[in-house]
Amino acid sequence: MNVASQLAMRGKLTLDEPMSKHTSWRLGGPADRYYVPADLQDLQDFLAGLDADVDILWVGLGSNLLVRDGGIRGQVIAPLNALRQIHMQLDGSLYAECGVSCAKLAKYCRKKELAGANFFVGIPGTVGGALAMNAGAFGGETWALVEQLIMIDRQGRLNRREPSEFKVGYRHVELPQQEWFAAAQFRFSVRAGDEESNIRELLRKRNATQPIGQPSCGSVFKNPPGRHAAQLIEAAGLKGYRLGSACVSDKHANFIISDSDTSAADIEALIIYIRERVAAQFDVALETEVRIVGEAL
């Protein structure tokens, strides 16, 4: 990045930023460079001035991310609490930037009396992360509601794209090369029934079945076709199983819990062990939902 670009930055750039501060597992080595943009225009300017050979990783709430203990080489961009614009548009669609939390999106829709967003309360991430993996909960999925995407490219240019331009599947979305989600337009229906009661019930269900309040990444594995990863893991006798200081939750077997002594290597080793046990006993290859990045020590 040249001097002029650095002087023009309005966001916050830190070096050797501990990723343990920015992941829900509360672990991970340092990022070489960590940038929180001031707003969308600042992000555009920052990307335009970034060297073309620098690797970029986007991080929201860090809830679907395992950062290895050696940390991340290159540039981390963190839009959470920066790209947070959310509003209704004249055509009735809802515009939300990638740094808006899914919980805030659900709350906003409830306030505007829109239906269909309640499942977002069960997604511990941001709009950008939900778009990137077609996140879902309680039977709902993100891309079923997407009307248009606003992408940002390596040069900081914004491009509008239609959902039909993406290949979308279960917890998987193929993005155009060197483009990322800046914002999206969603289409919700008008509220019908007691949405607030429904949200309360979904939160009650989540709290009763998931280890809320303990460091985890949410679901570690995708559900195989016609099966549930948690049931397979539990049937393999791994509920509550500990490897190093990483532990399979005794409340929900598709959650791995960390503590203050846990390393990313402990988590990754447990992930590998779970996959091996389930494959050996049930001939099912579990795919990770969590994204594993960075370098090992």
Q: Which helix (H) or strand (E) element contains residue 141?
A: strand 140-141
192 contacts 115 by C-beta, under 8 angstroms: yes
DSSP-derived 3-state class of residue 238: coil
DSSP-derived 3-state class of residue 174: strand
Which residues are part of the catalytic machinery? Answer: 171, 219, 289
**Residue 123 is encoded by which pair of tokens?**
């997604």
State in Å, rounded, how far the first CA of the chain is from the last one.
Answer: 28
Q: Which of 190, 171, 185 is nearest to 127 (CA)?
A: 185
Give dist(CA 14, CA 30) in Å, integer.
11
In this structure, how many other beta carbons lie within 10 angstroms of the beta carbon of residue 120? 30
How many residues are given for the chain? 297
For Cα atoms 285, 289, 293, give the angle at the middle one, nearest 5 degrees.
Answer: 110
Give dist(CA 154, CA 212) in Å, integer.
37
Give dist(CA 187, CA 164) in Å, integer.
15
